[in-house]
Amino acid sequence: MAKTQGLTTREQNFSEWYNELVRKADMAEDSGVRGCMVIKPYGYGIWERMQRIMDDMFKETGHVNAYFPLFIPKSYLSKEADHVEGFAKECAVVTHYRLKADPNGKGVIVDPDAKLEEELIVRPTSETIIWSTYKNWIQSYRDLPLLINQWANVVRWEMRTRMFLRTTEFLWQEGHTAHATAEEAVEETMRMLEVYAEFAENTLAIPVIKGVKTPNERFAGALDTYCIEGLMQDGKALQCGTSHFLGQNFAKAFDVKFANRENALEYVWATSWGSSTRLVGAMVMTHSDDQGLVLPPVVAPIQVVFVPIYRNEEEQKVTLDACNEWAQKMKKVGIRFKVDTDDTKKPGWKFSEWEQKGVPIRIAVGPRDLANNQVEIARRDLQTKELWTLGDDFVEKIQTLLDSIQLQMLEKARAFRESHTREVNSWEEFKAAIEEDIPGFLSAHWDGSSETETLIKEETKATIRCIPLNNPQEAGVCVRTGKPSTQRVLFAKAY
RNA sequence: CGAGGUGUAGCGCAGUCCGGUAGCGCACUACGUUCGGGACGUAGAGGUCGAAGGUUCAAAUCCUUUCACCUCGACCA
């Protein structure tokens, strides 16, 4: 793309805008390997921040990390009927274990003599391999609850891919827990949904709606799927995390029983929950502007960048010394900073570069400033600049500003979502709203049937994103069929 | 799998209709002037034009085949 298209109403332009941002911020690039991307150091740094914070939240809620195999024997996957049906269409399969030189002299070929007895599936998710392991780990109620998380890569052979939002291979975490009672498992499901919601809002500054999926959108093999849904700047919804109550489906499929206090054998109750590098995409699409990324300070790998301005060696030394002096003070309070000492780039270049990378605060330090004992503070989110006097409270003020940027970004995104969420009461209204440039969330009555949901999807591409938690009950008629309805649900076009 | 489109220097592209031996911008190298919002000048380096075959005195350009990638759709916790 020759120039930045900016936020436009057309889907294709938004898509180009998004790709351009990711590329210019130096986060990731297409690897050339079918639907897979290379996550570059800057993009990975953002993911690492997310990992660290989320992992702490998992630990605080009693979970531990473990690691299970990448390969899943085909037979494991077929043990839970709904699960295999849901994932069968998108699995990469390992059929051979050896290559050999091409007899025609053209590189290598798959050795036909090295066919696997049983094919291995590259995990699209790990329920099956984990439950086949849990069978050996669980005998008694004393072994429960089992609260395990793993950080891993998974592969889903989707037909259409997008950087971060849907890549063939992606990084994620998946939690898999086993419990003695249904109540406990449901409680865990809701606890982790809450963890995701807190993470999205407090760390990524993405306001989300917590809700439950309809049977149509439910995870393959789950009794209930809960989710957090965010709204992107083009008015499409994005699922930012899911938490599933799996009932006893996997326990039964993998024969995982425990002896209760009365010494009776029972199947265990399960949950699973996951979130992925898709969150990086969600953050980009929620906050960025035409100048590039806008990172919430909590996730930004660099929170403050110092740009020294100078014309000669003497000025270079003076401004760099000043930058380093204040940077060291910031280090003491844990602010993540960078002093841009690159002598081959001019200040104007650096300003643009760090804007594209979304660094929340830029501090420009030139001889003119130092003469006045001040520096120029530029906020990435609002694109404003002001002069601050240097003093004992300077670092403290920067920390306060970072906190305030974090909050304001969340509020700005929330205001956007509120202004793009509305109630619709007739089918004409619904169709008109969903066709708008920035459609957003539509709150509408639905008769509760899968058939109606499918019909609406076929006619408008809108799906039910979720039934919000604590949804107010209200008598009404289905927006599509006119049949009686007890509550409104949230519709949107989705990624 | 359907519909469009693109493959020419590291990146972005022109040249293809009408055949004549490859060009522009950015980036890169050197030197100088610059340096508070993506600097400028001069000089320089870099390409078997996606691949294979054919037509021709001559092919990036015409013909045939093929491969790859992109966008949209179908698909998608």
Which of A263, A199, A189, A191 minimizes the C-alpha distance to A226? A189
Q: If you measure CA to C1', which residue is closest to nucleotide B39?
A: A346
pLDDT tens digits for A311-321?
Answer: 999 999 999 99
Percent of chain A with pLDDT over 70: 96
pLDDT at A188: 98
Which nucleotide does the CA of A124 lie closest to, via C1'?
A: B77
Distance A12 CA to B72 C1' (A): 9
Cβ neighbours for A365, distance < 8 A, ≥ 6 positions apart: A306, A307, A308, A309, A319, A322, A323, A375, A376
Distance A288 CA to B46 C1' (A): 37
Q: What is the pTM of this model?
A: 0.93
pLDDT at A435: 86
Which of A79, A278, A300 minimizes the C-alpha distance to A173? A278
Strand A374-379 and strand A384-389: pairing?
antiparallel
Which of A392, A384, A389 minimizes the C-alpha distance to A408? A384
Bridge partners of A99? A110
Distance A190 CA to B41 C1' (A): 66
Does residue A10 have a pLDDT over 90? no
Which nucleotide does the CA of A350 lie closest to, via C1'?
A: B38
Q: If you measure CA to C1', which residue is closest to nucleotide B77?
A: A219
Q: If you measure CA to C1', which residue is closest to nucleotide B26?
A: A2
Chain B positions within 7 A of any protein Cβ atom are 1, 12-13, 34-39, 69-77
pLDDT at A29: 81
**Given the structure tokens 């993470």, which residue do they identify?**
A199
pLDDT at A373: 96
Q: If you measure CA to C1', which residue is closest to nucleotide B1?
A: A159
Which of A234, A162, A213, A272 minimizes the C-alpha distance to A5? A234
Which of A279, A278, A272 minimizes the C-alpha distance to A203? A279
Does residue A266 have a pLDDT over 50? yes
Decide which of A78 and A488 is more confident. Answer: A488
pLDDT at A162: 86
pLDDT tens digits for A86-142?
Answer: 888 888 888 889 888 777 666 677 888 899 999 999 999 999 999 999 999 999 999
pLDDT tens digits for A399-439?
Answer: 999 999 999 999 999 999 999 999 999 999 999 999 888 89
Distance A32 CA to B50 C1' (A): 15
Which nucleotide does the CA of A225 lie closest to, via C1'?
A: B77
Decide which of A10 and A280 is more confident. Answer: A280
Categorize the per-residue pLDDT at A2 as very low, low, confident or very high, splitting at 50, 70 and 90. very low
DSSP letter (8 states) at residue A115: E
ipTM score of complex: 0.82
The answer to whether residues A150 and A125 touch, using CB atoms and an 8 Å cutoff, is no
Distance A56 CA to B60 C1' (A): 58
Distance A7 CA to B13 C1' (A): 24
**Which two tokens mark A402?**
């970072």
Which nucleotide does the CA of A163 lie closest to, via C1'?
A: B70
Q: If you measure CA to C1', which residue is closest to nucleotide B34?
A: A311
Average pLDDT, rounded, for chain A: 92
Q: How many CB atoms lie within 10 A of CB A277?
A: 25
Distance A1 CA to B49 C1' (A): 22
3-state SS of chain A: helix, strand, coil percent to 5?
35, 30, 35
Distance A317 CA to B71 C1' (A): 50
Does residue A61 have a pLDDT over 80? yes
pLDDT at A11: 60
**Given the structure tokens 């990469």, which residue do they identify?**
A92
Q: If you measure CA to C1', which residue is closest to nucleotide B12?
A: A2
DSSP string spanning A405-427?
HHHHHHHHHHHHHHHTEEE--SH
Which of A228, A233, A227, A278 minimizes the C-alpha distance to A47? A278
Distance A365 CA to B46 C1' (A): 39
